[in-house]
Amino acid sequence: MGVSPSYINGSNEESIEEWLSSHKPSTSLTQGTRWLWVRRSADVESNRGVNLKGLKEDWEKLKRKGKISKEDILHLARKYNVTHGKWMVFERVGSDGDELWAKIAKGVSSGLTLSTSAKISTSPGDQHVICLYNNNFLDQEEVFESERTIRSLGVKSRLIYKPDIYTHLGLYQNNKWNIRASLYISNYDHVKEKSKID
């Protein structure tokens, strides 16, 4: 796989519009890249203070004990400062995916969302996944405000929120501890024109 092309606001020679026209998710599928990234600035997504080695060691100890709860994972997130999370949206490959990505990429790079970075998958398949990141999944107010600002870009699709620690620990659906693989699901009510977060 090739490198993941990135647009970093203020660092690229081209405008976001120019970058998007030459980096469409639907055409990047054939260019050997897995992800396209947009970051508001070069210093976002800081991993300062994150201790993934310690996290994985404690996780292995927990697994040996057998029973694991959501609270155990939240404790590990605080202890090792693994607090990033992401709202995920899925869209069909093609012009729909390109259009949604353009809305999101412009919103992130210009500061219209609380999300400081976003990426879209370009792997072969019939749909893209777009991830919009925020810094602290433990702060519910921040997570919900992030969702609101994503909706303000015109995103009406279902959103699923997943902490990055779940990814680091390999915690997915139907895991043996029966821990839900996402923290929140946001569905948009087109009649009331507002979200409902479960």
Q: Is residue 21 part of a domain?
A: no
Give tens-digit pLDDT for 113-128. Answer: 999 999 999 877 789 9
Q: Is residue 103 part of a domain?
A: yes
Q: What is the per-residue DSSP string for 53-76?
A: HHHHHHHHHHHHH----HHHHHHH
Q: Is residue 16 part of a domain?
A: no
Residue 17 has pLDDT above 90, yes or no: yes
Q: Which domain holds residue 138?
A: 52-115+124-197
Residue 90 has pLDDT above 90, yes or no: yes
Q: What is the number of structural domains in the chain?
A: 1
Q: Is residue 73 part of a domain?
A: yes
**Sequence-distant (≥ 6) Cβ neighbours of residue 20 within 8 angstroms:** 7, 101, 102, 105, 106
Q: Is residue 15 part of a domain?
A: no
Q: Is residue 70 part of a domain?
A: yes
Q: Is residue 169 part of a domain?
A: yes
Please give the mean pLDDT across all residues of the chain: 91
Question: Looking at residue 1, what is its pLDDT?
Answer: 44
Question: Looking at residue 50, what is its pLDDT?
Answer: 83
Give tens-digit pLDDT for 127-139. Answer: 999 999 999 999 9
Q: Is residue 57 part of a domain?
A: yes
Q: What is the CATH number of the domain that holds 155?
A: 3.30.760.10
